[in-house]
Amino acid sequence: MNYFLKISAIILLVFITHLQALADILPDSTTQKTTINRSVLTAAGITQGSVYLGGMAFLQYGWYHDHQKVPFHFYNDNKGYLQMDKLGHSFAAYSESYLAYRWYRKAGLTKNQALLYGGGMGLLLQTPIEVFDALYEGWGFSWGDMLANAAGCLLMTGQELVFNEQLARFKMSFYPSEMSYQVNGYLGNNVAEKFLYDYNSHTFWLSFNANRLGLQSKLPPWLNVALGYSANGMLGEFENRSYYRGVRLPEYDRTRQFLLSLDLDWEKIPSNSKILKGLFTALNYVKVPFPALEINSKGKFRTYWCYF
C-alpha cells in the first residue's frame, strides 16, 4: 500500500471513529425527542468512509498514477476550465454534506445536530484531495477549490436553516461531448475516462420547485424548473492545446453555456415503497433529461429537444 492509500486509510479510520464516538456521546430519548439509532449511525460512518476510501483509490490509479510526486505546493486554477472544475467541487461537497445530514437525521439526531456534524462533511472529505493535489506535478493546493467546497456545504446547510428544505437542489448531468470523439483520445477513450477528463461533457444545475416560484401550487409538487451552466470547446485548462500524441487537434472556441429546462424532484413523488424512496433519493442528484433552451457567451441561442 503506497503512502496515498495509507493516508486515506487513516482518514477513513478517524472518520468512522468519529461516527462511533457520536453514537456514544449523543443523548438518547431521555433528553431529546428522538432516540439515537447507533446501528444506523455506525452504518453511516462505515458506508460513507468506505465509499470515500474507494474514491481515493480510484483517483490514485485513474488520476495521479502517471504524474510525478513533488514537494507540497500551491496552485491558482481559478480561471481553469471556465470554472467548470469549481462547480464540480461545489457539487461534490453539497452532495456529501446533504447525504451525511440525511443519514444523521435517519439515525435520530436532531436537525441542529445533523447540520452541525453533517453540514461540513463535504469540506472534510474534499480537503484531503487538495492535499494530494499539492503533492503531484500538474496540480497543487488550490484555495479556489477550498472556497468552492465550502460554498457547496453552505448551500446545503443554509437552505435547511433558512427554508427548512432544499429549495434549490444542486444537480448534475453528463453526456459525452461530440468533440471528445474527435481529439485522438485527449478527453478519454471510454465513458468512464470522459467523465473524468472531459469537462465539456458536464452540466451543473440549480433545480427549483416550480410552485415556489410564485405559481401557488398550480403544478405538481414534483415539477421543477432548472437553471444550468456548462462550457464547451475546452481542450486544456486555461487555453486549448494544438497537438496531442503527435496529432494536430481541431480548433474550438471556448464558450460558456447558460441553460433553462424542466426537472423532477423525485423525493416529492408519493410512494409507500422503501426501495422506491431510496431510489428516488439517489436519483435526486441527477438532472432529468428534458427539452432545454440555451444562450451562450457569444449571444447565440439554441434549443434542445432533450438535453442530458
Per-residue model confidence as pLDDT tens digits over 112-139:
999 998 999 999 888 888 888 888 888 8
**Residues 208-250 pLDDT 10s:** 998 887 766 778 889 999 999 999 999 999 999 999 998 999 9
* Angstrom distance (rounded) from CA 72 to CA 173: 33
In the predicted model, residues of the chain with pLDDT beneath 50 are 1-33
* Angstrom distance (rounded) from CA 232 to CA 242: 16
The reported pLDDT for the residue numbered 89 is 94
The reported pLDDT for the residue numbered 10 is 39
Q: Which helix (H) or strand (E) holds 122?
A: helix 121-133
> Do 277 and 246 meet the contact criterion of CB atoms below 8 Å apart?
no
> Do 262 and 279 meet the contact criterion of CB atoms below 8 Å apart?
no
Backbone dihedral angles phi then psi of residue 192, each to the nearest 5 degrees: -60, -45
The reported pLDDT for the residue numbered 20 is 44
What count of other Cβ atoms lies within 10 Å of the Cβ of residue 124? 20
Q: How many CA atoms lie within 13 A of 154 on its CB side?
A: 6
Q: What is the b/e burial string over 111-123, where b = at least 16 CB atoms within 10 angstroms of the residue's CB?
A: eebbbebbbbbbb
The residues, ordered by sequence, that sit 6+ positions from 269 with a Cβ below 8 Å of its Cβ are 222, 280
Domain ranges of the chain: 1-165, 167-308
The reported pLDDT for the residue numbered 18 is 46
Q: 3-state SS string over 198-217?
A: CHHHEEEEEEEEHHHHCCCC
